[in-house]
Amino acid sequence: MTLAPPPIAMLAELTHRCPLACPYCSNPVKLARQDTELNKETWISAFQQAAALGVLQLHLSGGEPASRRDLTELVTAARAAGLYTNLITSGIGLSERRLADLNQAGLDHIQLSLQGTDAAMADEIGGYRGGFERKMQVAAWIADIGFPLTLNTVLHRRNLHQLPRAIEIAQEMSARRIEVATVQFHGWALRNRDALMPTREQAAETTRVVTEARARLRGKLVIDYVPADYHEEFPKRCMGGWGTTGLNIAPDGQVLPCHAAQTIPHLTFDRIQDKPLAEIWHRSDAFNAYRGTDWMAEPCKSCDRKTVDFGGCRCQALALTGDASATDPACSKSPHHASMQAQAADHAAQVNAALTYRIAPGKPVPAQGKR
Amino acid sequence: MEASEIPALPRGVRLHFDKIRDTWVLLAPERAVTLDAVGLAILSEVDGTRPFGEITRTLAERYNAPEDQIAKDSSGFLDALRDRRFLDILP
């Protein structure tokens, strides 16, 4: 058996704790409690193993990674292991002093999330009053230090009209890059499709704004764009292909092929505290489950795009068809595509739908809304 | 890229030897660009002090190749990096 190529990127979800409560949080609905979080030494070992396996890019995320008090020490250790370190943060929990320490530790890059372009929108979506004002302060400190910055925007029906302003804010913050990500329906977002689903017109307008801004800002601001896949013809190549490019470690040490993989009920996941990372990457059932193309059924099996998009997202296939090995319904060749687009239109028409916020780890999960 | 322009790798963009894949890469936000021998030779000369014209002259002498050919090849490569914000031009 030939070994899979080594991973390039690792997402370390240091904690599921977060001051914000965004209704599209990609964390699982069942959150890891603080007392199950990996300790510092185990994370450092994971970073060293990842570098030895071939990982080049380490994304420190959560939850809110700044909720970990040992964040600076983790960055120091990751840099010592030879990894490019990227902090994915809302900014809440970062002080000027902490940013100076992270600078000293060698942090390479920061991705700052933006929930809205004004306090009214941002604080409502984040469920955290004062969050926007604090974030703007943190952005100023980031610019003072000179950290390379990417602004991460998650866009949905409520805030898509703010995209032009978000692009301006990225430039005002001296960001080199902005991620324009239309909300992806995993984790908490799946419970908020009525409240967040963009209309088809919004999705088209977003593509138009992005195309125009890319041409206008070439060489000044890089725009990475994730379109609304419920309204697309072909699915996304999720994670660059299952078990080919990246891996995640959850706060409790479970090693995952993607951040939503725990929604696939028949998969079991090894933990970094139990097995070497290389063994998990190469040999575990979860990583081998959807590697390559052997697992595919029709219409993927005979499709000429099967090694282009690998059938799309396994978690979305499961969520919408009940079968994780089905073609992602975002694909126009899926027998479920028409019904998915009809559902999307139906969700997008729920103009009065309320937001279901993410909860804190350890708190009871609210019942899923009807429909 | 003009001969008088001074290219520089900005903070957060750096050369790295990938021991596992036995190749040089350019590490940047969310990207790892695999470098061939030519790309590595060019970027190794980018130090934020010397203008592009001096870099191509150095490379032409070292590899005994026509300077205009080197300028043409490396200009395309560096401009692509510049578009991605992986390369700055110093004022």
Taking CA atoms, B37 is separated from A206, B19, B24, in Å, by 40, 16, 9
Q: What phi and psi, each to the nearest 5 degrees, are found at residue A235? A: -80, 165
Say how many CA atoms lie within 13 Å of A197 toward its Cβ. Answer: 24
Q: Do A82 and B32 count as a contact with CB atoms less than 8 A apart?
A: no
- Distance between first and last Cα of chain A: 46
Cα-based distances in Å from A255 to A19, A270, A311 = 25, 6, 22
pLDDT computed for residue A229 by the predictor: 82
A108 touches B at CB < 8 Å: yes
Of A206, A210, A134, A218, residue with least CA distance to A176: A218
Chain A residue with minimum CA distance to B10: A148
| Predicted local distance difference test score (pLDDT) of residue A230 | 80
Binned at pLDDT 50, 70 and 90, residue A370 comes out as very low
Whether residue B90 is contained in a domain is answered as: no
Helix axes A337-348, A200-216, angle to 10 degrees: 90
Mean pLDDT calculated for residue range B81-90 = 95
Q: From the CA of A12, how many Å to the nearest CA of chain B?
A: 14
Q: Which residues of A289-319 are buried (b: 16+ CB within 10 A; e: fewer)?
A: bbeeeebbeebbeebebbeebbbbbbbbbbb
Span A326-342, mean pLDDT? Answer: 93
Closest Cα partner for A355 from A202, A194, A183?
A194
Is B18 inside a domain boundary? yes
Q: What pLDDT is stored for residue A364 in this prediction?
A: 77
Is A369 a residue whose pLDDT tops 70?
no
In a domain, B79, yes or no: yes
What phi and psi, each to the nearest 5 degrees, are found at residue A165? -70, -35
**A-chain residues near B13 (CB < 8 A):** 148
Measured between CA atoms, the residue of chain B closest to residue A215 is B83
Query: CA A14, CA A67: separation in Å to the nearest integer?
Result: 9
As a residue count, chain B comes to 91
Q: How far is A219 from chain B (nearest CA, A)?
A: 4
Burial class (CB in 10 A: 0-12, 13-18, 19+), B75: middle
Q: Assess if residue B19 is contained within a domain.
A: yes
pLDDT tops 80 at residue A155:
yes
Gap between the Cα atoms of A358 and A370, Å rounded = 17
Whether A109 and chain B come into contact, CB under 8 Å, resolves to yes
Query: Which residues does chain B have within 8 Å of residue A170's beta carbon, measured at their own beta carbons?
Result: none
- Contact state of B20 with A57 under an 8 Å Cβ cutoff: no
Q: Percent of chain A at pLDDT above 90?
A: 89
CA torsion sign, A288 to A282 to A311 to A263? positive
Chosen for mutation from B13, B20, B24, B26 (greatest number of chain A CBs closer than 10 Å) is B20
Q: Which residues of A touch B82 (CB under 8 A)?
A: 219
**What's the pLDDT tens digit per position in A4-39?**
899 999 999 999 999 999 999 999 998 999 999 999
Please count the structural domains in chain B.
1
Cβ distance B85 to A177 less than 8 Å, yes or no, reads yes
Check CB contact under 8 Å for A56 and B30: no
How many angstroms from the chain centroid is the CA of residue A168? 23
Say if A152 is an interface residue toward chain B (CB within 8 Å). Answer: no
Q: How close A356 comes to chain B (CA, Å)? A: 31
Predicted pLDDT of residue A368 = 60
pLDDT over 70, % of chain A? 98
Considering only CA atoms, give the Rg of chain A: 20
Interface of B with A (CB under 8 A): 10-14, 16, 18, 20-21, 25, 27, 29-30, 32, 82-85
Owning domain of residue B30: 7-85
A52 touches chain B (CB under 8 A): yes
**What is the ipTM metric for this complex?**
0.94
Q: Is residue B1 part of a domain?
A: no
* Helix or strand (DSSP H, E) at A74: helix A71-80
Q: How far apart are CA A235 and CA A229, in angstroms?
A: 7
Alpha helices per DSSP H over chain B: 37-45, 52-63, 67-83
pTM of the entire structure?
Answer: 0.95
* Residue owning tokens 């139906």: A346
* Whole-angstrom distance, CA of residue A288 vs CA of residue A11: 19
Question: Tell me: the pLDDT tens digits for A59-106?
Answer: 999 999 999 999 999 999 999 999 999 999 999 999 999 999 999 999
Closest CA to B27 of A211, A153, A72, A78: A78
Mean pLDDT taken over chain A: 94
- Asked if residues B46 and B7 have their Cβ atoms less than 8 Å apart, the reply is yes
CB contact (8 A) between residue A218 and residue B83 = yes
Has residue B91 been placed in a domain? no
**A183 neighbors A154 (Cβ within 8 angstroms):** yes
Instruction: Give the CATH number, domain containing residue B18.
Output: 1.10.10.1150
Q: Rounded to an integer, what distance in angstroms lies between the CA atom of residue A175 and that of residue B87?
A: 14
C-alpha to C-alpha distance for A360 and A64, rounded to whole angstroms: 12
Q: Which residues of A touch B85 (CB under 8 A)?
A: 176-177, 219-222
Domain annotation covers residue B78: yes
Among the partner residues A82, A109, A218, nearest to B12 by beta-carbon distance = A109
Q: Is it the case that residue B91 has pLDDT exceeding 90?
A: no
* Contact list, A221 vs chain B (CB under 8 Å): 85
Rounded to the nearest angstrom, the minimum Cα separation between A55 and chain B is: 9
Q: Is the dihedral of CA A35, A39, A45, A47 positive or negative?
A: positive
Average pLDDT over every residue of B54-77? 93
**Neighbouring residues of A341: CB distance < 8 A, sequence distance ≥ 6:** A230, A231
CB contact under 8 A, A222 and B18: no
Quick check: is B2 in a domain?
Answer: no
Q: Are strands A109-114 and A84-89 parallel, antiparallel or unpaired?
A: parallel
Report the distance separating Cα A166 and Cα A178, nearest Å. 9
Give dist(CA B33, CA B10) in Å, integer: 15
The two structure tokens encoding residue A131: 């969050």
Among B12, B32, B82, select the one facing A148 at the smallest CB separation: B12
In the block, tokens 């329906």 appear at A185
Tokens 């185990």 correspond to A42
Nearest Cβ partner for A176 among B20, B27, B85? B85
